[in-house]
Structure 1
């Protein structure tokens, strides 16, 4: 693709290939030869757990992220289950992000394994985004021995679509000249946001690809799909003016725990709240944030889930004891726990950068 096809933005979307599974294969090369499923083994924990990812050998059997571990076992009975090691994945993700920063600081992290890079102006003063993508992929491989796929376009939506087009280790360019043809031929299930439920409705409306979508009026799309219909109307025309948001603050920090053995004892619940409070505060401090809203989530024995929240004008002090005391206050508002609790979560939200000392929220006497 010629560089003059990029009149405005030059955006690269980097998506690591089967990231967690590939890291596990680095640790144990034998995994490369067999189907690997990154999840807790459902045969050892009563059928619980969700698949985090799977290597390409396991994907051939239909195993993919977000399905239950028990379903993965049925699809791929000879697969090896490996529990995820998120500390290791986060460390590897940081190495990859350090590489990104050699090229640009306009980086929007989507997850540990993917990010958008605005390289319209970049630190290497390279005008050709294809060359930049090749350099980034090569450097990731040299420093981590992991492969990545790159999508290059003038918008975030198309860059993301492009990175998914040739996996693994692919590179795809969608220029402004090529975007219409690409979008017309794209199967409707490949449009971002078209999930299982939306796909059923699309099939009912006989929308199989971008061309079918293009023929729909804006009013009809909004009628059938609400706000998402308006987004689809623009996307199929290559319209996506979203910037690469590189200074986004995390909207919330939350930690939750699921219990195989249900908790019904009040002191056990309080003990867990204290542990989770410490985890939340550690993460908030690491990210140099503070918040004004605390949310408690409880999932009962029958899977009924209730949340309670409280917000303040001032920032809540970054002290786990403060969070714990606020959690105890909120817990008193929940129905009885006597039939058992299977999940407890604490989230701190309405977050802002910690640019100055916290104002102590003097709600309790902590002495």
Structure 2
């Protein structure tokens, strides 16, 4: 039975339309329970090395969570909490098969789908008239299709942009539906701890707490200049999410013909210090990573470019055997290229291009929302 968090008033529809974030509940465990219905009422965990009882738990069903069993816990510790747990070795092919079926159901509701992982995706429903009239009702229909056809459940967050939709899909699990309008942020989002903000890791959260920023509302009401000074571009992204101003589009990576993603920065003064130059590469890496994540793509070739004070433009390229998408992977290769170049003249422009873009191979996440 789905759980709708609030009554929806169709006369309060946002002009920008609605975005869904669909997230399967305890996905890996749910796939096994769909295959083996006798497990549904039992505490089930999916863990690495089941045979030796020393594996790490990658997901636990909701029954197991009642005993305090959590993702990331050692299997031996979990058995101490609940000797009756059923431990199952991960089955990648099974998860991929269910993921394909899940995304096929999504496609019956809209063609604008951005996969985020095997078990979750954003759906742009802005042009769906039936959805605008009653989003919760259509979301309940989607949940019913998944439950009846696959035997698993999904939770759905509905809001005016991607990040808010993802933020609230976790509020009402399992199989919940949560609708959040932007004018409800002060009442419903801002009182929550800043650690709940998507993208705010423990290190950032600890630094914010030292500055007196404990809730999402505390962050949203800070001066932007102070956030930029303390946290840079990452802080800006979190600040915009806290205010509900993150309007990146839902992009279906299969529909994009983009061949490369680039970022560059020109400085007002000559740069010669290695730390200053690498800081610009770091900033470019963050921007490219954010764009690749939006597109759901990875790259396999990196190029850097720089302009010296004689206005000459230089470049260097290198192929990568590993996929480039995270800030760290992009920056490491850019740094390696720059140190190899050993440019000793001052520069005025720094840029990075990631190319040979393609969809990533399906990878298992080692956590469940």
| TM-score band, normalised by shorter chain | 0.5 to 0.7
3-state DSSP of counterpart to 2:48: coil
Alpha-carbon spacing, 1:69–1:125, altered in 2? closer, same or farther (3 Å): closer
Asked whether the equivalents of residues 41 and 82 of structure 1 are also in contact (C-alpha less than 8 Å), the reply is: no
1:2 aligns with 2:9: yes
Could you report, residue by residue, the CA deviation over 1:225-271 in whole angstroms, capped at 9, with x for unpaired residues? 222211122122110111112126799xxxxxxxxxxxxxxxxxxxx
The aligned residue for residue 356 of structure 2 is 351
Instruction: Determine the C-alpha separation between the residues in 1 that align with 2:66 and 2:230.
Output: 34
Instruction: Determine the C-alpha separation between the residues in 2 that align with 1:196 and 1:222.
Output: 18
Could you report, residue by residue, the CA deviation over 1:67-90 in whole angstroms, capped at 9, with x for unpaired residues? 454554565554322011111111
Could you report, residue by residue, the CA deviation over 1:125-167 in whole angstroms, capped at 9, with x for unpaired residues? 7643222212111111121121111110001111011211100
Instruction: Determine the C-alpha separation between the residues in 1 that align with 2:52 and 2:77.
Output: 15
The aligned residue for residue 65 of structure 2 is 59
Shift of 1:60: 2.9
Asked whether the equivalents of residues 17 and 127 of structure 2 are also in contact (C-alpha less than 8 Å), the reply is: no
Task: Determine which of 23, 30, 44 is the counterpart of 1:22.
Answer: 30
The aligned residue for residue 185 of structure 1 is 191
RMSD over equivalenced CA pairs, Å = 3.4
The aligned residue for residue 130 of structure 1 is 136
Task: Determine which of 148, 153, 159 is the counterpart of 2:154.
Answer: 148
Alpha-carbon spacing, 1:296–1:143, altered in 2? closer, same or farther (3 Å): closer
Shift of 1:216: 2.1
Deviates more, 1:68-77 or 1:186-195: 68-77
Q: Which runs of 5+ in 1 are unaligned?
A: 252-288, 298-307, 310-348, 355-367
3-state DSSP of counterpart to 1:108: strand
Asked whether the equivalents of residues 42 and 70 of structure 1 are also in contact (C-alpha less than 8 Å), the reply is: no
Alignment of 1:110-121 (within 5 A): 110-121=116-127
Alpha-carbon spacing, 1:291–1:123, altered in 2? closer, same or farther (3 Å): farther
Alpha-carbon spacing, 1:296–1:114, altered in 2? closer, same or farther (3 Å): closer
Task: Determine which of 48, 56, 61 is the counterpart of 1:40.
Answer: 48
Alpha-carbon spacing, 1:246–1:20, altered in 2? closer, same or farther (3 Å): same
The aligned residue for residue 295 of structure 1 is 321
Deviates more, 1:196-205 or 1:103-112: 196-205
Normalised by the size of structure 2, how large is the TM-score? 0.64
Asked whether the equivalents of residues 158 and 169 of structure 2 are also in contact (C-alpha less than 8 Å), the reply is: yes
The aligned residue for residue 174 of structure 2 is 168
Could you report, residue by residue, the CA deviation over 1:7-26 in whole angstroms, capped at 9, with x for unpaired residues? 11310111111111111112
Asked whether the equivalents of residues 103 and 123 of structure 1 are also in contact (C-alpha less than 8 Å), the reply is: no
Instruction: Determine the C-alpha separation between the residues in 2 that align with 1:219 and 1:290.
Output: 33
The aligned residue for residue 310 of structure 2 is none
Instruction: Determine the C-alpha separation between the residues in 1 that align with 2:160 and 2:19.
Output: 6
Alpha-carbon spacing, 1:291–1:194, altered in 2? closer, same or farther (3 Å): closer
Alpha-carbon spacing, 1:117–1:18, altered in 2? closer, same or farther (3 Å): same
Alpha-carbon spacing, 1:89–1:115, altered in 2? closer, same or farther (3 Å): same
Asked whether the equivalents of residues 180 and 238 of structure 1 are also in contact (C-alpha less than 8 Å), the reply is: no
Could you report, residue by residue, the CA deviation over 1:11-61 in whole angstroms, capped at 9, with x for unpaired residues? 01111111111111122334333321101345617x3x4322111122234
3-state DSSP of counterpart to 1:193: coil
3-state DSSP of counterpart to 1:94: helix
Could you report, residue by residue, the CA deviation over 1:159-197 in whole angstroms, capped at 9, with x for unpaired residues? 011211100010010013323322212221211112222
Instruction: Determine the C-alpha separation between the residues in 2 that align with 1:120 and 1:31.
Output: 39
Alpha-carbon spacing, 1:57–1:188, altered in 2? closer, same or farther (3 Å): same
1:200 aligns with 2:206: yes
Could you report, residue by residue, the CA deviation over 1:91-147 in whole angstroms, capped at 9, with x for unpaired residues? 111111111111111000001110000011139676432222121111111211211
Deviates more, 1:96-105 or 1:115-124: 115-124
Paired residue total: 271
Instruction: Determine the C-alpha separation between the residues in 1 that align with 2:71 and 2:128.
Output: 34
Alpha-carbon spacing, 1:243–1:72, altered in 2? closer, same or farther (3 Å): farther
Q: Which runs of 5+ in 2 are unaligned?
A: 1-7, 260-297, 302-318, 324-331, 334-353, 360-369
Instruction: Determine the C-alpha separation between the residues in 2 that align with 1:130 and 1:246.
Output: 23
